[in-house]
Amino acid sequence: MGLLRDRMQQDLKLSGYSPSTCKIYLVYARLFAKFHMRSPAEMSEPEIRQFLLYLIEERKISRQTFRQVRAGLTFLYTVTLRRPTEVDHLAIPRREVRLPEVLSGTEVAGLLAAVRNPKYHGLLMTMYAAGLRVAEACRLRPEDLDSKRMLILVRGGKGGRDRYTMLSERLLVFLRDYWRKTRPQGWLFPSRAGTQHVTPDAVRLVFRGALRAAGISKKVTPHVLRHSFATHLLETGVDITVVQTLLGHASVRATQVYTHISVEHLGRTRSPLDLLGTPDSSVLG
């Protein structure tokens, strides 16, 4: 794509997209050009539809991936090429509602116990204790921990939004000991060289090893700790709007998926049958 790729990359940065989103959109634009062996500037809606159908029928991509590809090509034609009519009528598939995998409390404890390195142990503990995404945990700085208010400042979360989440007392004790022993500079969890923060890929590698060591066979990524955080909070009776705020969800609809997998949360809901003939039956009218 050459110059067109550079222009698209600049447009993505100017639009405030995260580095990961920029990378994904550029990859899909390159695949589109490679599929037709032509520049996107020379193509229009028929070629876009043909490419999307190929991905669905031949590559068997998921609906979520389809939506990402469509979003990337929509940005390319709407913003960079200034030809929005080429993508105005592309179908938008309905979202798949898939319940996220979660770990039990026993599995979380076993996983953390399997991580011997204090830096990675602390990082994974932080993800579970505060519901952080892996990139958010990697970018933490010591000054982001507010021990007076027991809060963690999460900078540049999804959508570029900052937020506060809880700081666990148990986590604070561990991180204070970790900081005294290692004295990390700049980043709370620095890379081996110390000049940058640890990378999400390095965390994923450690996480996979911890799964094996803990004997956990579930096919999960570090993001399962965030899912488990939300689910376990609901199971302990925390209001869903509080969980929404802690996770940084813009809408409570994104948080409601966890109510479907919180068995304990559902189990505490009383059937109206159980209210009949009791003092609480007045709420039924």
Is residue 226 part of the annotated active site? The answer reads yes
Task: Enter the tokens of residue 12.
Answer: 């993505």
Give me the catalytic one of 139, 163, 226, 232: 226
From the list 17, 28, 258, 265, the catalytic residue is 258
Q: Catalytic residue at 249? A: yes
Q: Active site includes 133?
A: yes
Q: Walk across the sheet containing 163-166 and list its strands.
A: 145-146, 151-154, 163-166
Asked if 93 contacts 30 with a C-beta cutoff of 8 angstroms, the reply is no
State the chain's maximal CA–CA distance in angstroms: 75
Exposure of 265 by Cβ count < 10 A (0-12 exposed, 13-18 middle, 19+ buried)?
buried
Phi, psi at 149, each rounded to 5°: -100, -5
- For the chain, the straight-line distance linking the first and the last C-alpha, in angstroms and rounded, comes to 67
Instruction: State how far the alpha carbon of 258 is from the alpha carbons of 65, 80, 226, 263, in Å.
Output: 22, 38, 11, 10
192 assigned to active site: no
Catalytic residue among 141, 158, 164, 204: 158
The single residue of 139, 163, 249, 265 carrying the catalytic annotation is 249
* Residue among 70, 119, 121, 133 flagged as catalytic: 133
The residues annotated with a catalytic role in the active site are 133, 158, 223, 226, 249, 258
